[in-house]
Chain A
Amino acid sequence: MDTSAPSPFVNGEILKMFLGRRVRTVVQVQHNEGGVLLGLSTDGHQLTIRGAPGAPEPPHYIEVIGIADSSLSIRAESCTDFGENFDGVAFNGLCKLANDKYKYMFL
């Protein structure tokens, strides 16, 4: 049992709070070329994901777990295809709750 290295849920806005740390987010794939992927976060920020080989084509959603390189980019450690029918709005709501009012349940 270990809660020392969590990977908090983030959207584009909350990503800024975790620079240099491990995060997890879900983005909708926009463009994927040469291992660099452009994705739209659930709150409408365009994020650059590096190190995501074999990512699915648009308009799939992918979950990215990795290190927040900058306020708009993530160095991916693992990617999971969440399919086309993922509810970005609900996920965005969860990101806000998990980093604000109910943070103590997550971090």
Chain B
Amino acid sequence: MYNGGDHYDGNGGGAANANTLFSGGGFMPSQTTNTPDGSGGISKSRGAQTLLPLTVKQIMDATQTNDDKSSFAVNGTEVSTVRLVGRMMNKIERVTDVQFVLDDGTGRIEVNRWANETSDTTEMGLVKDGDYVIVNGGLKSFQGKRHIVAYSVRLVTNYNDITHHFLYCIYVHLDLAKAKKSATQTQVTASASTWNQGPPLNNQAPTLSASGNAGGNELSDMVMNVFHDPMLVNLEHGVSIQQVASRLKISDALARSTVTHLLDVGNLYPTIDDNHYKSTLNG
């Protein structure tokens, strides 16, 4: 079973906020830190430990990053902890560990589970060849061969989890691709060091639509774009209502009501007074 649907879907407001507070604590990769760092466009982030749902095919296609042969990149994002869902095959139990092959339909990969604690052995005793299992583990490479060192191996009890896993792989894949694309765009915008007055605003907010609470409201999106503008994010007291209004050429009242709404849904927080706010994504 996946633990808690509301955390798993990545769209629950609470989960999204929790991700912001506790770096890498959720299932969605942390995007605020996915900035290109010049080393071949591989994003290194605190989210490298973030659990990524992947297919075996994606792992096969993952590139090994140059500086350290033990790390991998999928979609240009460093990945070390992965979730796979598939059938257990060729299970071999030994004193020190349990080894099996995971077949997720896109390919097969070897998985090792070290028997450090009694709980490890107990958990591995519950699953057998032919069972569908959810594996969370670290992606490793040994002598050029990729394998998984599992932290947990759990039996699938609701088979919709299998469908869900693969759909979630697609979702996360798209989300990473989008984050990378807009991060690049943001850097271009920032290095141009021009004030971006008025439209087009839609290429300035790299993370909004994936932040969980974006309501799809155009005005809200535009207001959030102002808060994510590279020229404004570092203001100590945040952005004032008046700045928002003048940026978007809207009335103060409309700016205030939109900001209040974004405050309510948790995308903004007040700073020194009721007139200044910052985006929760920017800490």
User: Which A residues are in CB contact (< 8 Å) with B146?
Assistant: 1
Contact of A93 (CB < 8 Å), options: B57, B60, B61, B167: B167
User: Which A residues are in CB contact (< 8 Å) with B164?
Assistant: 90
User: Which B residues are in CB contact (< 8 Å) with A87?
Assistant: 160, 163
Interface flag for B130 (CB, 8 Å)? yes
Question: Chain B: how many interface residues by the 8 Å CB criterion?
Answer: 29
Q: Which of A3, A6, A8, A98 has the most CB of B within 10 A?
A: A3
B57 in contact with A94 (CB, 8 Å)? no
Contact with B along A76-93 (1 / 0, CB 8 A): 001010110111001101
- Say how far A90's CB is from chain B's closest CB, in angstroms: 5
- Say how far A64's CB is from chain B's closest CB, in angstroms: 12
User: Which B residues are in CB contact (< 8 Å) with A82?
Assistant: 159
User: Which B residues are in CB contact (< 8 Å) with A106?
Assistant: 55, 57, 105-106, 166
User: Which B residues are in CB contact (< 8 Å) with A4?
Assistant: 107
A107 in contact with B159 (CB, 8 Å)? no
Which bucket holds chain A's interface residue count? 20 to 34
Contact of B108 (CB < 8 Å), options: A2, A24, A83, A102: A2
Interface flag for B185 (CB, 8 Å)? no
A86 in contact with B108 (CB, 8 Å)? no
- Say how far B278's CB is from chain A's closest CB, in angstroms: 36
- Say how far A15's CB is from chain B's closest CB, in angstroms: 15
Interface flag for B145 (CB, 8 Å)? yes
A1 in contact with B109 (CB, 8 Å)? yes
Contact of B163 (CB < 8 Å), options: A6, A7, A90: A90
Interface flag for A43 (CB, 8 Å)? no
Q: Can you name the residue of chain A whose Cβ is closest to the Cβ of B105?
A: A7
Contact of B170 (CB < 8 Å), options: A63, A85, A97: A97
- Say how far B81's CB is from chain A's closest CB, in angstroms: 18
List 27 A-B pairs, Cβ < 8 Å: A1-B59, A1-B60, A1-B107, A1-B109, A1-B110, A1-B145, A1-B147, A2-B109, A3-B57, A3-B106, A63-B159, A80-B159, A83-B159, A86-B159, A90-B163, A90-B167, A93-B167, A94-B163, A94-B167, A97-B170, A102-B170, A104-B61, A105-B57, A105-B58, A105-B106, A105-B173, A106-B105
Interface on A for B, CB 8 Å cutoff?
Answer: 1-9, 24, 61, 63, 78, 80, 82-83, 85-87, 90-91, 93-94, 97-98, 102, 104-107
Apart from A2-B109, A8-B105, what are 4 other A-B pairs with CB-CB below 8 Å? A7-B105, A90-B164, A97-B167, A107-B57
